[in-house]
Structure 1
Amino acid sequence: MTELWNWRIDQVRPVEVYPALAEAIGRVVMPLAVADPARLPTYAVICDVWQAPGEFATIVDCYGVPDGLPELPSVAALARLLDRNCLLRDDTLDDTRHLLVAPDGSIRPVHFDVRETDDGEVLSERRLCTEADSRCRGWSRCHRSRWTPDSVNPALAAA
Structure 2
Amino acid sequence: MTELWNWRIERVRPVEVYPALAEALGRVVMPLAVADPARLPTYAVICDVWEAPGEFGTIVDCYGVPEQLSEQTCIAALARLLGRNCLLRDDTLDAGRHLLVAPDGTIRPVHFELTETDDGEVLRGQRLCTEADPGCRGWSRCHRSRWTPDSVRPAPAAA
Q: TM-score normalized by structure 1? A: 0.98
Q: 1 CA distance for matches of 2:17 and 2:129?
A: 27
- Which residue does 1:64 correspond to in 2? 64
CA offset digits 1:7-33 (Å, max 9, x no partner): 000011000000000001100000000
Q: Which AA in structure 2 matches 1:44?
A: A
Specify every segment of 5 or more residues in structure 2 that has no aligned partner in the other structure, as ranges. none
Q: 2 CA distance for matches of 1:147 and 1:62?
A: 23
Q: How many residues align?
A: 157
For the pair 1:30 / 2:27, whether they are aligned, the reply is no
Give the drift of 1:44: 0.3
Q: Which AA in structure 2 matches 1:78?
A: L
Q: 1 CA distance for matches of 2:67 and 2:140?
A: 32
Q: 1 CA distance for matches of 2:18 and 2:93?
A: 28
- Which residue does 2:155 correspond to in 1? 155
Aligned Cα root-mean-square deviation (Å): 0.6
- Which residue does 2:92 correspond to in 1? 92
Q: 1 CA distance for matches of 2:35 and 2:123?
A: 29
Q: Which AA in structure 1 matches 2:68?
A: G
- Which residue does 2:44 correspond to in 1? 44
Specify every segment of 5 or more residues in structure 1 that has no aligned partner in the other structure, as ranges. none
Give the drift of 1:75: 0.1
Q: Which AA in structure 2 matches 1:49?
A: V
CA offset digits 1:102-137 (Å, max 9, x no partner): 000000000000000000000000000000000000
Q: Secondary structure at the match of 2:156?
A: helix
Q: TM-score normalized by structure 2? A: 0.98
Q: Which AA in structure 2 matches 1:74?
A: C
Q: 1 CA distance for matches of 2:73 and 2:95?
A: 23
Give the drift of 1:90: 0.2
Q: 2 CA distance for matches of 1:122 and 1:67?
A: 29
CA offset digits 1:47-74 (Å, max 9, x no partner): 0000000000000000000111110000
Q: 1:105-124 maps to which residues of 2 (within 5 A)?
A: 105-124=105-124
Q: Secondary structure at the match of 1:131?
A: coil
- Which residue does 2:80 correspond to in 1? 80
